Structure 1
């Protein structure tokens, strides 16, 4: 992304601490890069690309290259940053799912979420839908079905704690603001 290149003087600076660089990454790069990600439909290829971009950013913050042959886990341990960009996107998607489930039935996002389209679908494998991502995210946090997730999402405090607890592997992964 262009924001990483625009901030190149900061990443190369020896006067700025690694902690400050990491905070700038979280505040600027991640917030711009994941803007409106709660509505994304993410395929495996997209997930892979996001993780590769994230590791490139973390390597740039530390000032190491791939030629240095340092493992990704070592870089994350050095920065004490175990949260991945996918954790943040999953948390945003689940949070938005809970928000829509609590909406009154007359609201358009709720109608779109729970509505069906009449007719036959075309031949072949259907494209990945947003609800497919939500089902995968629910199973990642230990919720067996979307029906159960919808029931749990009606209790805002319970839903926030589920999303925050399950998708935060460490204290550095907590999202800013409310879930």
Structure 2
């Protein structure tokens, strides 16, 4: 699955930068968060404009996102911090909000495309054939 691959790649990127950036006490939280958004979240949400995620996929992405933020901010499970407090403290938003923003940006991009471009033709296209007859299933006698 694409989403599991994205989560694995983002956590690998987080691990590579962990000791030098995210767990470095010489860097401010704003700098750590900016690097996290630029590297890990970009990796996590790469090509997400084309996804149609189910609720379980959004939850998996959200869990990955919040665990990364908690590690950056040094918050453990014992601290009982809500997600809203976590996002406020790190000056970020939820994955669901990021996905919605990316979908809307892509839709705006497609709407502004010339008529001959394939994504626009698909968005505004109609089925060439496929009219269904009225009524339900036919009963066998």
Q: Please give the range of the TM-score, normalised by the shorter of the 2 chains.
A: 0.7 to 0.9
Tell me the SS of whatever aligns to 2:32.
helix
Aligned to 2:101: 91
Q: 1:51 aligns with which of 48, 62, 67?
A: 62
Aligned to 2:6: none
Aligned to 1:38: 49
Residue 83 to residue 7, structure 1, CA distance change in 2 (3 Å): same
Tell me the SS of whatever aligns to 1:7.
helix
Partners of 2:23 and 2:49 lie apart in 1 by 32
**Residues 22-71 of structure 1: CA deviation (Å, up to 9, x unaligned):** 11111111111111111111211111111111111110111122233232
Higher relative contact order (CA 8 A, sep 6+): 1
Q: CA deviation at 1:73?
A: 2.6
Q: What is the number of equivalent residue pairs in this alignment?
A: 120
TM score, norm. by length of structure 1: 0.59
State the Cα RMSD in Å.
2.1
Instruction: Give the greater-gyration-radius structure (CA).
Output: 2
Partners of 2:106 and 2:88 lie apart in 1 by 30
Q: Unpaired segments of 5 or more residues in structure 2?
A: 1-10, 133-141
TM score, norm. by length of structure 2: 0.73
Q: CA deviation at 1:82?
A: 4.5
